[in-house]
A and B are shown apart, each in its own frame.
Chain A
Amino acid sequence: MKPTDISVPDYFHKVVDCQWACPAHTPVPEYIRLIAAGRYSDAYMINWESNVFPGILGRTCDRPCEPACRRGRVEKDPVAICRLKRVAADFKDDIRGRLPKPVKTKNGKRIALVGGGPASLAVARDLAPMGYECVVFDQDPKSGGMMRTQIPKFRLPETVIDEECDYILNLGIEFIGGRRIDSMKALLKENYDAIFVGCGAPRGRDLDIPGREEAKKNIHIGIDWLSSVSFGHIDKIGKRVIVLGGGNTAMDCCRSSRRLGGEDVKVVVRSGFEEMKASPWEKEDALHEDIPIFNFLVPKEFTHENGRLTGVVFEKVKAEYDAKGRRKLVPTGEADEHFPCDDVLVAVGQENAFPWIERDCGIEFDKWDMPKVDPTTMASTHPKVFFGGDAAFGPKNIIWAVAHGRDAAISIDLLCRGEDIGVRPPPQVKVASQKMGIHEWSYDNEIALDKRYRVPHRDKVVALRDIKAEVELGYDVELALKEAERCLNCDVQTVFTGQLCIECDACVDICPMDCITFTQNGDEADLRTRLQAPAKNHTQDLYIGNDLKTGRVMVKDEDVCLHCGLCAERCPTGAWDMQKYLIDMTHAEQACQQRTQSAA
């Protein structure tokens, strides 16, 4: 194998699994260290800069970082990254003084943002401080989009949404609530310099089976129902409720029902329990609130009497897999089952809908009737129109919406400056040694053996009485500090300098995870079998160091390295060093700064 080029920003970025997995590339270990140091405001600001909504995401994020967390590979459960983010938001001081100030002199460019959800707000957050005049349109009276309308208040209190949306709107952004954009052509005529579409995936899928029409009074579309609950238009539901669907919306529906009078609430899903789309922790929370989940049942018919829903008939199915491993649900042949109920909530998926975009306005759509969007620039086929969030590639989640928004902001900035939006400025990387003394590092390199700490919950009886009472109470300071200690500091990298190495094997001998091997070089497949411990995780790189006197190579399997720094402590020559890697992803403001620098 060729020696590893550690100057390529991606190499060390991939080692920080959580940051690499985060769509917004939040520097997770950096903010966790700040929490451990009690610097909550600093931790919050790092989050705010990369993911815009730390308090909201700290409660609701889909957390792609956690399955990626290295801790899950060396112990059992990953670090509670998401809930530590909430800690930063909960314990921070007033940070308003640290936010950008509204600019007095605008740059004369006007940007329209359709939809006031996370994607649009992320775009506006990046562009407004640079002098762009941003106008956000939303059909609802308040900003926040699905964060406000679809996530129940017992998971995300209104105050948190207000606070973090206001941080953005106070940057001098014009928010026009209650105005639905119903023609792209008309909007294009208003001569904005760029238009960003972040209107989400607003249409809940319906279930067209017998009885749907007759019993429609008691059959509700999940996301519309949640939205009505959110705005207070609905405040009760029948005693017996069936929720159809196995995603997070279904979980929000059933748990909301329990708080609005539902006593016998069931979730019924076509698939098996494991294959359900809902996050494991959301399923767990539903089960905890005495909501049983029934699997392998396909709704066949709504039963009704005198125009009133009486229940749902289900066909029993089982999963069969073909030679290619594709799943098929086939009837078991058993008798159908009838579940009586008063109300049904249909949460079987969401769709994009762009009835307001005229198909001849220059925006091309693909065969699934989705706009053609470039995943890097977020540009549509119309030079001035950009997409992001669920509107771009179908339903995803908040953190993806933020990432899209930030990428779109770079494009819009480049466009308005008359530059090529395809030429993306590179990220900025800082790598600095953490050595403080012979055996002292500027980070805590001792590995805590603690298991993941549970977040305390509000008492169930109390929680079920009030739909606005937040269920999760968040970590207290003591738990937060303990959980923070579990982080392995994967951003403090093991950096190897072959010229300094005397091949004494001290690092090999001390490494608790058998990560390091000195051996003859070979191709990757061969090397992976010849190491101190087999390197079977092919998603993790081998770090190859050369320039050794014996002609061998140093091979480090990045997979389960604890970043404990013992290799560097036991190295007599400083051939190993622990260096902190901080990557500052490109964002709109930086793109502009770089240009001024290069122009100077």
Chain B
Amino acid sequence: MTYVVKPKFHHPELPKNKLGYTHRDYEGAVSTLCAGCGHDSITASIIEACFELSIEPHRVAKISGIGCSSKTPTYFLGNSHGFNSVHGRMPSVLTGANLANRDLIYLGVSGDGDSASIGFGQFAHCMRRGVNMVYIVENNGVYGLTKGQFSATADRGSKSKRGVVNSDNAIDMVGIALQIGASFVARSFSGDKKQLTPLIKAAIEHQGAAFIDVISPCVAFNNHAGSTKSFDYVREHNEAVNFLDVITGRAPIHVDYAPGTVEMVEQHDGTILALRKLNAEYDVHDRQAAMSFLHHHAAKGQIVTGLLYVEQDPQDLHQHLNTVEAPLNTLGEKELCPGSAALEKINAALR
């Protein structure tokens, strides 16, 4: 870790967003992770995404579990709400918070240990219910805090730093998310912010369960030859299907891409996702095709990245449950106690 405080000085020409903030205003404390950790790049991408979307920091709730990844919310959005919860329990804590106040932007940050092992069930149910959130898994395939044992996302056949070969099958988080109904599914790589930052922006704008699996090399324990989550391996086997530009309603839309290579996807809130297709056949609206595409390429040892699936009219948990729109803490006695006449009516209906 670094002992000096990151200097407050910033570049005199730093751009400011609509709120008058620079991206430095979206930082948190200096990272205490190992130097070179992929997670720090994801942190930087989250900072950049929130800056570019001109999000007011106090409108964000960042919630995490336990692990290297779950430490990272300390390192971004120093002025947001935060909750560092129990191991694997980020989804249920976040679901509760979301039910109580749907006005906030919910950012769940987790890792492969937190979400694919101890919190696997939590992850699945949270996606299945369609909680309106951004679910980021910082996926390095090892337990970094306990010195590099394989995690549940480590590929079968990959080698640990000490040379042990992993004999267990890997859980593909993206595959599960697609299968159980996440309405926005993407995969990216911490070493490619150009791809990652727009994906995070799109996920924030997406009004439903958005899942991003970010492969994030563990420099200390999983960045060697034989690893399938090292910088070199991911760069060599990265099969990006598309790149994204997020166009928010505020900026005038002007597109200068070659015709036929770009698909414009309008999101529910008016945001437009401009998808630069690298693979012409790939259709981001076809869940089944996406799943088979992933399986097909995984078998070839390729790591498919990009926006893999997006539902154009997502529904979220609040719509399913028909909950009240106002945050619960703003409800007064009048709304919460409708009076004896109303109680009589309910009781009568149950007789």
A residues touching B (Cβ–Cβ < 8 Å)? 73-75, 439, 445-447, 449, 502-506, 508-510, 512-515, 533-534, 536, 549-550, 560, 562, 564, 566, 569-573
Contacts and interface: CB of A to CB of B under 8 A. Distances in A.
Of A446, A505, A566, the most chain B CB neighbours within 10 A belong to A505
A439 B1 contact: yes
B6 A572 contact: no
A504 B9 contact: no
B35 A566 contact: no
Contacts of B5: 446
Given A510-B40, A569-B4, 5 more contacts: A504-B41, A504-B217, A510-B2, A515-B11, A562-B9
Interface SS majority for chain A: loop
A560 B12 contact: yes
Contact of B35 (A445, A447, A506): A506
Contact of A445 (B1, B4, B37, B219): B4
B125 interface: no
A569 B35 contact: yes
Given A509-B41, A572-B34, A504 B11 contact: no
A448 B235 CA distance: 40
A503 B231 contact: yes
Contacts of B2: 439, 510, 566, 569-570
A513 B30 CA distance: 15
The residue in B1, B9, B38 that gathers the most chain A C-beta atoms within 10 A of its C-beta is B9
A550 B235 contact: yes
A534 B41 contact: no
23 contacts: A74-B12, A75-B9, A439-B1, A445-B4, A446-B5, A447-B4, A449-B7, A449-B9, A502-B231, A502-B232, A504-B38, A504-B41, A505-B40, A505-B41, A505-B193, A506-B35, A506-B36, A506-B37, A509-B43, A512-B7, A512-B24, A533-B13, A564-B4
Contacts of B7: 447, 449, 512, 562, 564
A572 B35 contact: yes
A237 B7 CA distance: 54
A569 B3 CA distance: 9
Contact of B6 (A502, A505, A512, A534): A512
A449 B40 contact: no
A550 B234 CA distance: 12
B44 interface: yes
Interface residues of B, number: 36
A439 B3 contact: yes
A504 B4 contact: no
Interface of B: 1-14, 24, 30-31, 34-38, 40-41, 43-44, 190-191, 193, 217, 219-220, 223, 231-232, 235
B10 A513 contact: yes
B148 to A, nearest CB: 15
A143 to B, nearest CB: 45
- Most chain B CB neighbours (cut-off 10 Å) among A74, A447, A512: A512
B215 to A, nearest CB: 13
A74 B223 CA distance: 37
A485 B241 CA distance: 51
Contacts of A512: 6-10, 24
Contacts of A514: 10-11, 14
Nearest to B75: A509
Contacts of B11: 513-515, 533, 560
A571 B44 contact: no
A562 B41 CA distance: 21
A446 B4 contact: yes
B231 to A, nearest CB: 5
Contact of A504 (B1, B13, B219): B219
B2 to A, nearest CB: 5
A5 to B, nearest CB: 26
B262 to A, nearest CB: 21
A572 B39 CA distance: 13
